[in-house]
Amino acid sequence: MRKILLRTKNLVSPPEQGADFVELFFDLVFVYAITRITSLTANNFDTEQVLKSLLIFWLIWWAWTQFTWALNAANTKIAEVRLVVLIATGVAFVMASSTNFAFTEGVMSFAIPYVVIRIIGLAFYIRVTTNLEGQRSAVIGFALVSITGLIAVMAGAMVAPSLRIVFWLGAILLDMLAGFIGGRAEGWRLQSKHFGERHSLIVIIAMGESLIVAATAVGGQERSLDLMLAGGLAVIVTCLLWWSYFSWISDYLEEKFSEESGSNQAKTGRDAYSFMHFLIICGIVGIAIGFEKVLHHPHDLLKVPVAFALGVGYLLFIGFGIAAVWRMGKIILLPRLFILIISLIGIVLSVGHSPLIVLGIISVSLTLINVIEWKKCSKI
């Protein structure tokens, strides 16, 4: 028994542990998953497909989130931990490669690996926290509610696609409930550096997907002035998105997160990172879909669905960046909020005109945000 306790104690993360290369390797699967979801949504861009894509993306996101929390408590230099992550990577690959079957008769090729990776993550998290009594009880509470969500996922996989949406919405609500129940415990021990780095890296991955979409679209067509201008603006928008998040917000969130402890830290991590960063990344995916539509038809006038993808994507990225800063530090970024509102009005008015206008509006608004917040960069 003593040897077992010593082994589990060695599994616990050391102070100030950062993200490890094995976690970055794990993330490669999610690069693929984001690519698949972006392509799936762009090819069938209607209300039903957007809802289905959001459901699929949440499930994939929550699998990633659960492992991020578990690995936050684990020593990622230990061979046992790395082996678990590599096994999970293999299962996640099967899950990610089956996203297009999630609402077909082949749904089990997605649902089964999803449930397996979640169970691996839950069992691993409980094992890692064996010697962290307060956190272990919180993890067990989270796991018990999470299992009901997994049952809902499997039940949904056994019914018609229309009913599957209802079951999977229920699974999402149960996932969120698990987060609220787990967050009430006081025994949480979270590594702020690791937590901040993991979420910053997944944002980078999503932004990389935007660049891949732009490059693929430009590379597959004959050169024209409109195409090159649209491609250039897509790259500029992505760079400005990067600056608006990484110039100070990512560091600010990590700094404020490090000042919390116990249930307060768990709750802010749940809200500002696990919940709000899902919507931030949805925003990046929405913008990437807008890029793909514009770059494949750069000469066409801007249509409502394309304006919707770009506008809602921009709203989610900037809006929930504002929300995350408020949740962590109770600061309201009024200039950013005002510019966002004006930009959205401009995007609506640009429908029926050249798509270059909407890309220009987003570029100018992001430039204004970054210039106004320049001083914050030097303070962080």
- Residues 265-310 have pLDDT tens digits of 999 999 999 999 999 999 999 999 999 999 988 889 999 999 999 9
Indicate whether 146 belongs to any domain: yes
Output the six-digit token pair for 265.
């830290």
Contact status, residue 205 vs residue 34, Cβ threshold 8 Å: yes
- How far is the CA of 7 from the CAs of 71, 80, 357, 369, in angstroms? 16, 10, 60, 50
Instruction: Identify the domain containing residue 153 by its residue range.
Output: 9-182
In this structure, the answer to whether residues 102 and 239 fall within a common structural domain is no
Helices (H), 44-107: 47-72, 79-97
In this structure, the answer to whether residues 121 and 40 fall within a common structural domain is yes
Cα–Cα nearest to 363, from 182, 212, 239: 239
CA dihedral sign of residues 119, 172, 37, 99: positive
- How far is the CA of 377 from the CAs of 3, 232, 335, 359, 369, in angstroms? 49, 26, 15, 25, 12
Indicate whether 151 belongs to any domain: yes
Cα–Cα nearest to 284, from 190, 199, 345, 355: 199
Indicate whether 4 belongs to any domain: no
**What is the 8-class DSSP label of residue 74?**
B
Q: What is the pLDDT of residues 335-344, one digit of tens each?
A: 999 999 999 9
Q: What is the pLDDT of residues 116-167, one digit of tens each?
A: 999 999 999 999 988 777 788 889 989 999 999 999 999 999 999 989 999 9
- Work out the angle between the directed axes of helices 276-296 and 355-372 (0-180°, nearest 10): 140
In this structure, the answer to whether residues 60 and 197 fall within a common structural domain is no
With cut-offs at 50, 70 and 90, classify the pLDDT of residue 221. confident
Q: How far from chain centre, in Å, is Cα 27?
A: 11
- Please give the pLDDT value at position 177: 95
Indicate whether 175 belongs to any domain: yes
Percent of the chain whose predicted confidence (pLDDT) is above 70: 96
Helix (H) or strand (E) holding 167: helix 161-182
In this structure, the answer to whether residues 69 and 107 fall within a common structural domain is yes
- Please give the pLDDT value at position 380: 53
In this structure, the answer to whether residues 48 and 178 fall within a common structural domain is yes
- Please give the pLDDT value at position 188: 82
* pLDDT at 83 exceeding the cut of 70: yes
Q: Examine the fold and report which residue of 123, 156, 182 is the final residue of a domain before the chain moves on.
A: 182
Q: Examine the fold and report which residue of 131, 155, 182 is the final residue of a domain before the chain moves on.
A: 182
Measured between alpha carbons, how far is 344 from 331 in angstroms, rounded to an integer?
Answer: 22
Q: How many CB atoms lie within 10 A of CB 166?
A: 12
In this structure, the answer to whether residues 197 and 174 fall within a common structural domain is no
Measured between alpha carbons, how far is 149 from 182 in angstroms, rounded to an integer?
Answer: 14
Indicate whether 365 belongs to any domain: yes
Q: What is the pLDDT of residues 165-188, one digit of tens each?
A: 999 999 999 999 999 988 887 778
In this structure, the answer to whether residues 158 and 47 fall within a common structural domain is yes
Indicate whether 16 belongs to any domain: yes
Contact status, residue 167 vs residue 159, Cβ threshold 8 Å: yes
* pLDDT at 6 exceeding the cut of 50: no
- Please give the pLDDT value at position 14: 78
* pLDDT at 5 exceeding the cut of 70: no
In this structure, the answer to whether residues 17 and 161 fall within a common structural domain is yes
Output the six-digit token pair for 150.
């997994």
- Please give the pLDDT value at position 189: 82
Average pLDDT over residues 99-116: 96
| One-letter amino acid of 166 | V
Please give the residue that has the higher pLDDT: either 184 or 371: 371
In this structure, the answer to whether residues 298 and 367 fall within a common structural domain is yes
Output the six-digit token pair for 313.
């994507």
In this structure, the answer to whether residues 240 and 173 fall within a common structural domain is no
Q: How far from chain centre, in Å, is Cα 52?
A: 16
Q: What is the pLDDT of residues 325-337, one digit of tens each?
A: 999 999 999 999 9
- How far is the CA of 368 from the CAs of 220, 240, 336, in angstroms? 33, 10, 9
In this structure, the answer to whether residues 209 and 73 fall within a common structural domain is no
Indicate whether 1 belongs to any domain: no
Beta bridge pairs of residue 74: 12
Output the six-digit token pair for 155.
């039940």
Average pLDDT over residues 348-363: 96
Residue 238: Cβ-neighbour burial (10 angstroms; 0-12, 13-18, 19+):
buried
Q: What is the pLDDT of residues 45-63, one digit of tens each?
A: 899 999 999 999 999 999 9
Please tell me the total count of domains within the chain. Answer: 2
Indicate whether 2 belongs to any domain: no
**What is the 8-class DSSP label of residue 76?**
T
In this structure, the answer to whether residues 58 and 149 fall within a common structural domain is yes
With cut-offs at 50, 70 and 90, classify the pLDDT of residue 4. very low
Which residues make Cβ contacts (< 8 Å) with residue 328, sequence separation at least 6? Answer: 252, 253, 256, 257, 268, 272
Contact status, residue 243 vs residue 216, Cβ threshold 8 Å: no
Q: Examine the fold and report which residue of 182, 214, 229 is the final residue of a domain before the chain moves on.
A: 182
